[in-house]
Amino acid sequence: MTGMTKPQHDPTDSAAGRIDAAPDRRGFTSRPLRVRAAVGVVATAALVAGVGAFLVDNLTNAFGPDSVCDGAVSAAALTDALGPGQVSSSENGAWQSPSGGALCTAKVTYGIFGDSRSVFVRVAQADDLGPYPAGSDSQLFAASANGGASGAARSKGAWALLPGECGTGLRVEVESDGDGPGAGKLARLAVSAANGVAADKGCGKSPLPAPHELSAVGQEHDLNSGSVCGLPGFTAADAGSKGYRERVTTAFDPVWVCRIATGQNPFAWSFSIGTEPRVRGPLAEKDATPAFGRSRWAGSPLREREVVATCQGKPTYFRMDTDILQGLFPSTDEAWKQFLIAGGKAIGCEPIL
């Protein structure tokens, strides 16, 4: 229609115009004030980005190493056990050598205040069943059920045997320095570390899989004098009236353990059976003198503590530590004979006596 004036276009109507006019509405009408506003926006963005990077660095391992402890412990396995955070380690000497007691401390740091969780990792070698940290409260994982991975775990510690190609008696131990993350997580970490040590040593055909099947925890209960350690035929004289208690692992592979004690005394009898040949170093035939039946003394540093017998074609080790509680059995020899007969039957061994 003629005679009507066209609406005038206001440059502030566009999105760009509205943004450009925003400083004017806030009173930033001069160029210096506009510059200050822009600088403030950039500074705020930089601060937000910096805080984000700080949180990523402290709450994850995004900028951390892929492995620690000289490459033996993967960051993924460590954070699986201890939770997310940045990983690091410190080595105390040649920690991968089984002698000397050296260890590696692997740590996960988390949170804005730098809190941390740690585990101690060490390589150990056993020449007998004595030094094994497999207690009667351990959860065992057997090679037959876990693709070759073998060891034991508790809520605060675990150990895993190295592959057989690395030699016998070699294991990796991990121990938490605080509240334990749980047996399952530490078992997986121990196996992962064993794989790392094996790779560093150049032994082991392929990595052992993470264990997925652990035995249940044995419960402490009154000793049954007619079936000591749950082994039918293993009997103890007059045990019921003396307050004896026992605790037994619920599986035999790799190391079965039974512990007998009283509430009044911290010492105990303990019986162990090592069914996995990797649990200790090989036995030289010349060092194995006859013991009971077809068993032979297994050369333990403490005399007459451990015997070996072939069971289903494999060396199997039986150990008895009897520091106190004299009178539980008629004699040490009688205890040995009963233990070998009853323990052998329990694991399906051919008759030893």
Neighbours of 13 (CB within 10 A): 9
Residue type, position 181, single letter:
P
Instruction: Compare 13 and 105 and report the one with higher pLDDT.
Output: 105
Residues 339, 230 share a domain: yes
Asked if pLDDT for residue 27 goes beyond 80, the answer is no
% residues pLDDT > 90 (the chain): 55
Residues 197, 101 share a domain: yes
Asked if pLDDT for residue 103 goes beyond 80, the answer is yes
Q: What is the DSSP letter of 211?
A: P
Return the pLDDT at 219: 93
Rounded Cα distance, 350 and 353, in Å:
9
Does 189 fall in a domain?
Answer: yes
Residues 187, 88 share a domain: yes
| Mean of pLDDT values over 200-222 | 93
Q: Quick check: 197 and 72 in contact, CB under 8 A?
A: yes
Residues 233, 165 share a domain: no
Instruction: Compare 99 and 273 and report the one with higher pLDDT.
Output: 273
| Number of structural domains in the chain | 2
Residues 181, 90 share a domain: yes
179 pLDDT band, cuts 50/70/90, is: confident
Residues 278, 197 share a domain: no
Residues 268, 227 share a domain: yes
Return the pLDDT at 212: 95
Final residue of a domain: which of 155, 170, 201? 201
Return the pLDDT at 71: 92
Q: What six digits make up the tokens of 140? A: 């065992």
Return the pLDDT at 3: 47
Domain that holds residue 179: 67-125+143-201
Rounded Cα distance, 284 and 282, in Å:
7
Does 82 fall in a domain?
Answer: yes
Which region among 97-111, 195-209, 217-231, 245-259 has the lowest average model confidence (pLDDT)?
A: 97-111
Beta strands in 242-301 (DSSP E): 244-248, 255-262, 265-274, 296-297
Return the pLDDT at 54: 45
Does 210 fall in a domain?
Answer: no
| Mean of pLDDT values over 2-12 | 47
Asked if pLDDT for residue 329 goes beyond 90, the answer is no
Interval 120-173: pLDDT, tens: 999 999 888 876 655 778 999 999 999 999 999 999 999 999 999 999 999 999
Does 284 fall in a domain?
Answer: yes
Return the pLDDT at 104: 95
Tally the residues of the chain.
353
Instruction: Compare 42 and 217 and report the one with higher pLDDT.
Output: 217
Q: What pTM does this model have?
A: 0.80
Return the pLDDT at 93: 79
Return the pLDDT at 175: 95
Residues 194, 75 share a domain: yes
Residues 259, 308 share a domain: yes
Does 230 fall in a domain?
Answer: yes
Return the pLDDT at 46: 45
Residues 314, 244 share a domain: yes
Interval 286-321: pLDDT, tens: 678 999 999 999 976 567 889 999 999 999 999 998
| Mean of pLDDT values over 193-222 | 94
What's the whole-number average pLDDT of the chain? 82
Residue type, position 197, single letter:
V
Rounded Cα distance, 128 and 151, in Å:
15
Rounded Cα distance, 228 and 321, in Å:
15
Residue 71 parent element (H or E): none
Q: Quick check: 252 and 311 in contact, CB under 8 A?
A: no
Return the pLDDT at 83: 93
Does 11 fall in a domain?
Answer: no
Does 193 fall in a domain?
Answer: yes
Does 180 fall in a domain?
Answer: yes
CB under 8 Å to 162, separation ≥6 — which residues? Answer: 170, 171, 172, 194, 197, 198, 203, 204, 278
Residues 189, 92 share a domain: yes
Interval 58-83: pLDDT, tens: 567 676 899 999 999 999 999 999 99
Asked if pLDDT for residue 55 goes beyond 50, the answer is no
Q: Quick check: 324 and 267 in contact, CB under 8 A?
A: yes
Final residue of a domain: which of 172, 201, 230? 201
Residues 316, 227 share a domain: yes
| Mean of pLDDT values over 255-259 | 94
